[in-house]
Structure 1
């Protein structure tokens, strides 16, 4: 379904803020945390880190996230779901084709970094994992799949930014896989999916109009708020269980120091879940929760 409502041009004095919102600087922690966590797990296993590989992988992951953000704006422009989203890069530039090709160039640069890592190691496993992850990322909004419109975005997010990204970062350091690292990666997968989940609360009407069956459209905002509470507590419950069962060191209980941010997120969503203007910043609180909890887990793995 395509929506043809005209877009009201933003005021000139808001353009800078709109561009900042379009670039989404906080969202790049979605690249930083999985790669750092996978690398920290590798360090916990071997006591060594190849920082050249870590930095190269990190920059590549940031480039891939930029590609995802830009192409999501392009594909959303095709359906009209972003008609009221002034901070869409496509709406700001008015040139969908240009945004699409810039996104693809950035993707090539990101994959170039992954290729370089594999070239150094003469092992192409990580490249294949990242290519599969990119394909899954494409299916979220890209035609003909558009799985995000069927409410499957959070599942895709869980696997791509959880087990797949973390296993790739771990392998890039050790050139081996670890069952413990894959199990522990579910924590980051959940906290990343929470960000996407929170991004739906404020756009229920636009999603409904465009035929997008997001989890919040399917569940309603109140039930969605309850699901969020369960998801946030799962991060702490699983972290504690993995410490008790030996998948993570006891220092990873540091993650509990992020609970004030978790409480802020739960309280905010529970209070404003049905008020689009007040709930729309919940995804940024979710980003803070993802970053701080992930950083504390990384520190727990590094200082053992």
Structure 2
């Protein structure tokens, strides 16, 4: 294949892998903090599988948005900012080759899921299959969750980038599920959902004109921005909730400062804004997600270390 590894990492938008690293890390650190277990080998296999699934999700999104004419419309719409990789719309790779590599990433993710399910338990294969179907049908017919504008897409992202990877990673380490893992997944899951949600502001007009009814399209710019702020508040409220149910130690409250990049970005926006004005909000979403994940992971790591020292 004439294209280099770096080319395909760019095509799959691998620079955003941090939003998948955090939930997998949190699930494993939950097992360490609550149960005193951590198996590095199985964590690495889990991470490889999760990363492959994320890259598949990015590429299948580009593939079907291209087939549905959404990405081409975004490039042709004045004042809108295109957020796809540009590989297909710019003719840098054929659709056939792009699709082949897309399915290769899915195959690698499923291989990791099969290995983990054989060694750690069949529920992991069910989680992997659920994540794969949510990623595919987010943009692919007949469901096209992300095109319906009823919040289905946001729920799919919350599950795929929050609940499933956190609970799955925890299960890999322990061999069972724990309700605390669900509550642990909420802050990082909601913030990751916001990364996707906020990027729709960059090209919502093109989405509207091409029939992609995202929540931003359905609500309109002003109400859509209000919902974005509500998501931020909800994500921060799930941190003390996690503490109340025993999923996080009290000092995990420091993670609420991760909202600051988003708050700062909101203050620079009015009710209506040029599409390019939402670039900083998109960046702030990623920064807040990574910061929140870091502080939550650090708090769980410290909790596990403190338990080991006291025992």
Distance 1:207 1:140, change over 3 A: same
Task: Please tell me whether the aligned partners of residues 251 and 301 of structure 1 are also in contact (alpha carbons under 8 angstroms).
Answer: no
Residue number in structure 2 paired with 1:87: 85
Residue number in structure 2 paired with 1:185: 185
Residue number in structure 1 paired with 2:307: none
Moved more, 92-101 or 168-177: 92-101
The alignment status of 1:262 with 2:251, answered yes or no, reads no
After the TM superposition, which parts of structure 1 deviate over 4 Å for at least 4 consecutive aligned residues? 18-23
Task: Please tell me whether the aligned partners of residues 13 and 85 of structure 2 are also in contact (alpha carbons under 8 angstroms).
Answer: no
What is the Cα deviation at residue 264 of structure 1?
A: 2.6
Moved more, 70-79 or 157-166: 157-166
Residue number in structure 2 paired with 1:229: 229
Greater relative CO (CA pairs within 8 A, separation 6+): 2
Q: Deviations over 1:149-205 (max 9, x none)?
A: 102211111122222221111111111011111122122221111011101101111
Residue number in structure 1 paired with 2:125: 127
Residue number in structure 2 paired with 1:294: 293
Counterparts of residues 55-74 of structure 1 (less than 5 Å): 55-74=44-63
The number of equivalent residue pairs is 286
Distance 1:266 1:280, change over 3 A: same
Task: Please tell me whether the aligned partners of residues 37 and 174 of structure 2 are also in contact (alpha carbons under 8 angstroms).
Answer: no
The alignment status of 1:285 with 2:284, answered yes or no, reads yes
Q: TM-score of the superposition, structure 1-length normalised?
A: 0.87
Q: TM-score of the superposition, structure 2-length normalised?
A: 0.85
Distance 1:19 1:67, change over 3 A: closer
Moved more, 199-208 or 252-261: 252-261
Task: Please tell me whether the aligned partners of residues 113 and 124 of structure 2 are also in contact (alpha carbons under 8 angstroms).
Answer: yes
Residue number in structure 2 paired with 1:116: 115
Counterparts of residues 97-112 of structure 1 (less than 5 Å): 97-112=96-111
What is the Cα deviation at residue 227 of structure 1?
A: 1.1
Task: Please tell me whether the aligned partners of residues 253 and 300 of structure 1 are also in contact (alpha carbons under 8 angstroms).
Answer: no
Unaligned runs of 5+ in 2: 1-6, 76-81, 304-311
Tell me how far apart the structure 2 counterparts of residues 48 and 117 of structure 1 sit (CA, whole Å).
Answer: 17
Tell me how far apart the structure 1 counterparts of residues 70 and 238 of structure 2 sit (CA, whole Å).
Answer: 36
Counterparts of residues 141-152 of structure 1 (less than 5 Å): 141-151=139-149, 152=152
Residue number in structure 2 paired with 1:239: 239
Tell me how far apart the structure 1 counterparts of residues 135 and 108 of structure 2 sit (CA, whole Å).
Answer: 17
Tell me how far apart the structure 1 counterparts of residues 50 and 95 of structure 2 sit (CA, whole Å).
Answer: 23
Unaligned runs of 5+ in 1: 1-17
